Structure 1
Amino acid sequence: MLDLAWQKSSFSTGDHGECVEVAARPGGPMLLRESGRPGDVVSTGPAAMRMLMARVKAGVFGGGRVG
């Protein structure tokens, strides 16, 4: 995997390594991974990422509304 600057979710707590991380390749797609499985990476474009984030914040996935 490329040497990317992965950013952890602001809701990540402790040193458990259980969080969502995001990175962007210059001129390429946005990348998502779960820190417990760093080799499994999903790529997406900006429009799909905006839609995903809006749905997560709205609580569509059962976790409650996110600030």
Structure 2
Amino acid sequence: MPIPDRQWQKSTFSGGPEGDCLYLATAPNRTICIRESDTPAVTLATAPTQLAALMGHIRQSPALTEG
């Protein structure tokens, strides 16, 4: 579901050599919306607490932090 009236913000970690970008926006009900530049019509919506829990898990995962 496209959300054209949102103020999408490009992630600071986006824009690598492949040009892939991740965008975030906040809906009026405070839901966080996420989309990719290659499929902007597809969005993922989540609560801020759920996104924070996912990010915390990713940061603590040894498989993802080892270089």
TM-score normalised by the chain length of structure 2: 0.70
Alpha-carbon distance between aligned partners in 2 of 1:43 and 1:29, rounded to the nearest angstrom: 6
Question: Residue in 1 aligned with 2:45?
Answer: 43
Higher helix proportion, which one? 2
Which runs of no fewer than 5 residues in structure 1 stay unpaired?
Answer: none
Match of 2:11 among 9, 12, 23: 9
Give distance in 2, aligned partners of 1:13 and 1:3. Answer: 23
Larger Rg: 2
Identify, as 1 or 2, the structure richer in strand. 2
Determine which structure has greater relative contact order: mean sequence separation of CA pairs < 8 Å that are 6+ residues apart, divided by chain length. 2
Structure 2: gaps of 5 or more residues: none
Question: Over the residues paired in the alignment, what is the CA RMSD in angstroms?
Answer: 2.3
Q: Percent identity at matched positions?
A: 31
From 33, 38, 49, the equivalent of 2:35 is 33
How far 1:28 sits from its partner (Å)? 3.6
Q: TM-score, normalised by structure 1?
A: 0.70
> Aligned residues, how many?
64
